[in-house]
Amino acid sequence: MSAYAGLQEYDEAFARLEKAAATRRDRMIWLKLDPWLEPLHGDPRFHELIHRMNLPSKTSTAAIRKSG
C-alpha cells in the first residue's frame, strides 16, 4: 500500500487499502498516521475509507488531544 502511494500509483494503493480493510488487517488502525500514505489524504476515497472504518476524524482527534 505505502509503496504504491510513494510511487504515485494511487489507484493501486486504494485497491490494496480496500482489500486490507475488507480482510480487517490489523495495521489499518494506523491508516491515518502512516506518513507514507499522506499523499492519499487529499483524495475523497481516503476520507470515505476512514468513514467506513469508523476511525475518528481529524477534528475529533484534535479535540481529544486538547482535552488531555
Enclosing domain of residue 7:
2-67
The residues, ordered by sequence, that sit 6+ positions from 31 with a Cβ below 8 Å of its Cβ are 17, 37, 49, 50, 53, 55
Total domains in the fold of the chain: 1
- Measure the CA–CA gap between 19 and 16, rounded to whole angstroms: 5
Q: What pTM does this model have? A: 0.75
pLDDT reported for residue 64: 53
- Measure the CA–CA gap between 18 and 62, rounded to whole angstroms: 26
pLDDT reported for residue 21: 92
pLDDT reported for residue 1: 73
Helix (H, G, I), strand (E, B) or coil at 32: coil
The pLDDT tens digits for 15-68 are 999 999 999 998 888 889 999 999 999 999 999 999 998 887 665 555 555 655
Q: Which residue has the cell 481529524?
A: 58
pLDDT reported for residue 12: 95
